[in-house]
Structure 1
Amino acid sequence: MRPLRNPVIQTLMANLLAVWMRFCVATIRWTHENENVAEQVWADGGPVICAFWHSRISLTPACWPQERAQKVRAIVSLSPDGQFIARAMDKVGFPSIRGSSANKDKADRAKGGTAALRDALRQLKTAGVAVTPDGPRGPMRQMGDGVAVMAKLSGAPVLFIGLSCNPAVRLGSWDRAVLPLPFGRGAIVWDLDRYPEGLSTDEATARWTERLTAVEARADELTGLERI
């Protein structure tokens, strides 16, 4: 990923990725399951926390109809590689909140996480926040406590989004990221929950890890994409 730390290359690659994402989303035949819960969120137009696993970032434009859904900002890592993701996400309609609490042993990352949480809570007063709770470096499908903390402090519902497509290219990254190919099959599966009263953030995180994994697994089942 080191070439992506060059600003010129970052901009070029981010633009290409955004164009590719839009092209694939437009040509894939999508199946939607439990969409009614998302429709209600869009109709309400208020705060919401959108969660999907890091490996499915390239499919996110398919799950959020910009013309009728509330505005959403995506939390993206402060790492140099995260800048590339932030540029690409901004191009497809998800401006970023920069920061990550994933690496608690590094002071700069901890400060970034604090700032990101503050900005996210401000955003959640009126609109939405998108989170990849196993990012920026994993482990794969292991949720950090950020989603539970945001949900508890803001009172916003959490929309779990399972995304899949087939055929797709699996990258060699830590999360085996899915890069879509056009004219295939796609699936989006939704689930919704609020912070469970009486549970600790650790308990809520464990519960929500299972629910997010379940919707992604169901989406993979619908498309026939091999689970890794």
Structure 2
Amino acid sequence: MNTKQVKQNALRFLGNLILTHSLDALCKTLKVSYKNKKTIESLRKQQQNYVLAFWHDTMLLPWFLHKNDGFAALTSKSKDGDLLAKQLKHWKYKVVRGSSSKGGDVALGIMVDHAKNGYSIAITPDGPRGPVHKFKAGAVITAKRTGVPVVLMGIGIKSKKELKSWDKFQVPNPFTKVKVIYSEPVYVDGKLSYDATSKVIEECEKKLNELQLEAEKF
């Protein structure tokens, strides 16, 4: 490895380190309130893993709030996915690389295996490239194949910045209020037909959008 490559690697490592600790510091300042947290607490008491689904633009807070909770997470194979994978590993997630557009079938199979082995699964159902707030099949298919429930998670941030990305990714301002709302568990019968499964996906999309709108009211 030449001197230039060593320097680039060192700068990349330093940048990742700064980003990781900056996100930790930011998230720890936030004032978080919960609605229907009993859903999660009840599942934990039962030692029941689950699929947690939240929109891509809100994902920073769900990732942080569920760190060290025994989750596996799906991230894309893009450069942005590289950064997210590093952050999630720092937060003790088991990271699976893939998406609906690249490596998705293999990644979904791995996530199903992890769910069968007791991991909870964190998914952004409209990731990694949209359409924004369009619920793709991965979360529901994982639940259908494993018998674990889906829990939907709406996130409202009172004061935030929106990045110029396809999803207008939300970054909370320090010390702002955050509202988290969980759905009741959604169980998916493994014997459902294609049409019935598609209906569940549509219902999850509608419910998650409702939770998101409710969470954004301050």
Tell me the TM-score normalized by structure 2. Answer: 0.86
Cα distance change, pair 214–169 in 1 and its aligned pair in 2 (3 A): same
| Kept after mapping to 2: 8 A contact 1:76/1:97 | yes
- CA–CA distance in structure 1, aligned partners of residues 92 and 158 of structure 2: 24
CA positional deviation for 1:200: 2.3
Give 1:42's aligned residue. Answer: 44
- Give CA deviations for 1:144-187 in whole Å, capped at 9, x if unaligned: 11112111111110111112222111101000000112111111
Deviation at 1:129, TM superposition (A): 0.8
Secondary structure in 2 aligned to 1:47?
A: coil
* Cα separation, 2, equivalents of 1:202 and 1:178: 29
**Aligned-CA RMSD value:** 2.0
Deviation at 1:135, TM superposition (A): 0.4
1:75 matched to 2:74: yes
**What runs of 5+ residues in structure 1 fail to find an aligned partner?**
1-5, 104-108, 223-228
Cα distance in 2 for partners of 1:7, 1:89 equals 20
Match of 1:139 in 2: 131
Q: Percent identity?
A: 25
Distance 2:12 2:186 in 1: 36
Q: Secondary structure at the match of 2:166?
A: coil
- Provide the rounded CA distance (Å) in 1 between the counterparts of 2:19 and 2:94: 15
Structure 2 portions without partners, runs of 5+ = 1-7
SS class of match (1:193):
coil
CA contact (8 A) 1:74 1:95 kept: yes
TM-score by length of 1: 0.82
Contact kept in structure 1, 2:67 and 2:91, CA below 8 Å: no
- Any idea what the Cα deviations from partners look like across 1:25-74, whole Å, max 9, x if unmatched? 221111110111011122222321010100112112443263xx4x0011
Alignment of 1:109-124 (within 5 A): 109=102, 112-124=103-115
**Separation (CA, whole Å) in 2 of partners of 1:8 and 1:172:** 28
1:167 to 1:9, Cα distance in 2 relative to 1, 3 A: farther
Give the 3 Å change call, closer, same or farther, for CA 135–162 of structure 1 in structure 2: same
Q: Distance in 2 between matches of 1:47 and 1:14?
A: 30
Amino acid corresponding to residue 79 of structure 1 in structure 2:
S
Rounded to whole Å, the distance in 2 between the matches of 1:10 and 1:215 is 38
Aligned to 2:150: 158
Alignment coverage as a number of residue pairs = 206
